[in-house]
Amino acid sequence: MTEMTAKRSPMAAISGVMRNAGIAVALVLLILVFSLTTTTFLTPLNLTNIMVQITLNIILAAGMTFVILIGGIDLSVGSVMALAGVVGATFVSNPELPTWLAILGMIVASCGVGAIAGTINGLISAWWAIPSFIVTLGMLNMARGGALQFTQANTVYIANPAITKFGTATVAGIPVLFLVAVAIIILGWFVLNKTVFGRMLYAIGNNEEAVRLAGHNTLFYKTAAFAICGLGAGIAAIMYMARLTSASPIMGNGYELNAIAAVIIGGTSLAGGRGSMIGTLLGAAVIGVLGNGLILIGASDFVRQIITGAVIILAVILDAVQGRLAAKRKGA
Amino acid sequence: MHNKLTVAIAAAMCSTALMAVPSLADQARPQVCLVMKSLANEFFKDMSIGAEEYAKSRGDFDLKMVGMQSETDFDAQVNAVDTCIAEKKDIIVLAPADSRAMVGPVKRAVDAGVTVVNFDVALDEEAKKAAGLDLAFVGPDNAAGAKEAGDALAKALGNGGKVVILEGNPGADNGIQRKAGFEQSIKDNGLELLDSRTAHWETEEANTVFTTMLTAHPDLQGVMAANDSMALGVVKAIDAAGMSGKIQVVGFDNIPAVSALVKEGKVLATVDQFGRDLASNAIDLGIKSFKDGKPLEGWVKTPIELVTKDNVK
């Protein structure tokens, strides 16, 4: 997979920026269309609603970006989110625990479950060099089955007032849930661009063999990328519980595909080695704005599904054209 | 109608209790195969627990239960039915995953001399006719239940109340029937339907879809959700919008997580179709029909009950 992509160079970095510009243009276009066709889209309330609605996908997609950058894929994030959620919910829904312990227990349990599941995904696929597609497909089933077994298929209702407060809090009118998601994007951007660890992930995505021959422990880096992705699923589970004060073993069904779509729309290459966290944020925003705007203009469910699929393809075409143009300009 | 059903079911249960004693005698025990949909669904999980308890308490038949991984995995269900035929079971009690696709396997079972009870979701009438299959249905009237919930909402809102519907999975039979029941209630009570969309039975999607519906229709007054998981998401959206008490919600299924909300008045009503008893009722009818050699006929309706603040447990 990895040999298909060119090595990263300053030129590639510039084309990366151009790619983000392409998706940003698409986002602005969408916003423009919905602002002109509805009176309700461009209102503060609707915009903050969209922010809350895309929180989960941003966080899952941020983790997914790490995995896709090394040329992997994680199909298990939706299920891992459910398992992390129902395990965390046993703490936060327990009225006998003091609030601080209930919250702390939830955070440790949800993040722990997510990170452990991610670590298992990474270790198995890296150690035995098994495609992560199949390993995480197995994990998808294990985590979903685990969540169902754990709850005996029951939805857990969370009556803890502290988490409700967190779920509805705003700072300067911006939902805290969204701010957390943006903070995660910024942190992810920093790790990927400003740390040796992050650069190493790009290098592995471009040419894993070269990295290994240079004496680096690729097993560690690859496992860490999956662990981060799993951790993201754990954090997303906490956001889910904060927003919906419930945890269900069937939550997050199919969310892995939305997360992958956000990452790819955001210009990250499925082959690995190329992409950015900011692109992922924009990709999640495109999906969220589209879902919201199509309801506001009154498109039927089925038409909505068709258009969403078409826009994913269009965004990727736009991205490819943009990338080719940028390469040509520099080649000339 | 309710009361009659309740009495009928009570009578059925009494007769079962009486039957338990003599039939402990070591005669040929009917072999029952219970084929359900996804055990990942609270409703079926509950049903399977109910069936297991029923088999234990009654003790005069052997029960084998089969569930599937997901609601739409009817391929696995076809295999399950074929396996039951091959194992020469006496009775197959089936909750079809697909009302048309399951007609073929059921026909095979009936032709092989197996007593088949179709419960929960009715097999499609036309498909049955095409296959030359005459089979009764045992189950709740989803449309009637949804209509009752809708009527409760209409009573709270009054004539001309503005409502939206959150539908189940497109194509799911119970979802289609519940939507039909809601629509009938809207028509009968002179409500105004602003929008109707699917949230695929799921809490988070219901929250997102409903929040956006509320943006598009800030004047909406009531929500009819085709299941309680979606009602949960709707209630959170209403809380977040600061509209608590101004928008009324009805759901379906009476899951434990919603009971608290019914008590608080955040969910006006939900519908209980006694999932726990549903499979045992069907098994009971199946064994009777098998022993008497008399096939079941028509639609044997099982009880449903509107759950409101007044009778919630």
Q: From CA B81, how far away is CA B118, in angstroms rounded?
A: 12
Spatial contact of B203 and B173, defined as CB atoms under 8 Å apart: no
Q: What is the CATH number of the domain that holds B125?
A: 3.40.50.2300
Do B184 and B286 lie in one domain? The reply is no
Residues of A with CB under 8 A from a CB of B: 38, 40, 43, 45-46, 49, 52-53, 56, 144, 148, 152-157, 159, 167-168, 240, 243-246, 248-253, 291-292, 295-296, 298, 301-302
Candidates B39, B213, B256; nearest CB to A154: B256
Largest CA distance in chain A: 70
Provide, rounded to the nearest whole percent, the portion of chain A with pLDDT above 70: 92
Please answer yes or no on whether B40 and A43 come within 8 Å at the CB atom: no
Chain A interface mutation, best of B49, B211, B267, highest count of A Cβ atoms under 10 Å = B211
| Shortest Cα distance, chain A CAs vs residue B257, angstroms | 5
Give CA–CA dist B97/A196, Å, rounded: 52
Question: How far B92 CA sits from the closest chain A CA (Å)?
Answer: 25
Whether residues B198 and B259 fall in one domain: yes
B38 & B60 share domain = yes
Are the beta carbons of B236 and A245 separated by less than 8 Å? yes
Note whether B229 contacts A248, CB cutoff 8 Å: yes
Residues B155 and B50 in one domain: no
Judged against a pLDDT cut of 50, whether residue B214 lies above it is answered with yes
- B195 and A CB contact within 8 Å: yes
User: For the segment A18-65, what is each residue's pLDDT rounded down to a tens digit?
Assistant: 667 778 888 999 999 999 999 999 999 999 999 999 999 999 999 999
The number of domains in chain B is 2
Residue B62 burial (CB count, 10 A): 13
Query: Range of B43's domain?
Result: 2-140+275-302
B309 domain-assigned? no
ipTM rounded to 2 decimals = 0.83
Between CA B12 and CA B6 the distance in angstroms is 10
Residue of A11 and A49 predicted with greater confidence: A49
CB nearest to B42's CB, from A154, A246, A253: A154
B263, B282: one domain: no
Whole-angstrom Cα distance, residue B296 to residue B258? 35
Do residue B228 and residue B179 come from a single domain? yes
By the CB < 8 Å criterion, does B215 face chain A? yes
Give chain A's radius of gyration (CA, Å).
20
Name the residue among B45, B195, B211 with its Cβ closest to that of A53. Answer: B211
Task: Give the tens place of pLDDT for each residue, B265-286.
Answer: 999 999 998 888 888 999 999 9
Q: Are residues B185 and B66 in the same domain?
A: no
Which of B195, B247, B245, B196 has the alpha carbon at shortest distance from B221? B247
CATH class of A24-326: mainly alpha
From B215's Cα to the closest Cα of chain A, the distance in A is 7
Q: Are residues B159 and B188 in the same domain?
A: yes
- Same domain for B107 and B165, yes or no, is no
Q: Is B254 on the interface with A (CB under 8 A)?
A: no
pLDDT in tens, A111-164: 999 999 999 999 999 999 999 999 999 999 999 999 999 998 888 989 888 998
B188 with B264, same domain? Answer: yes
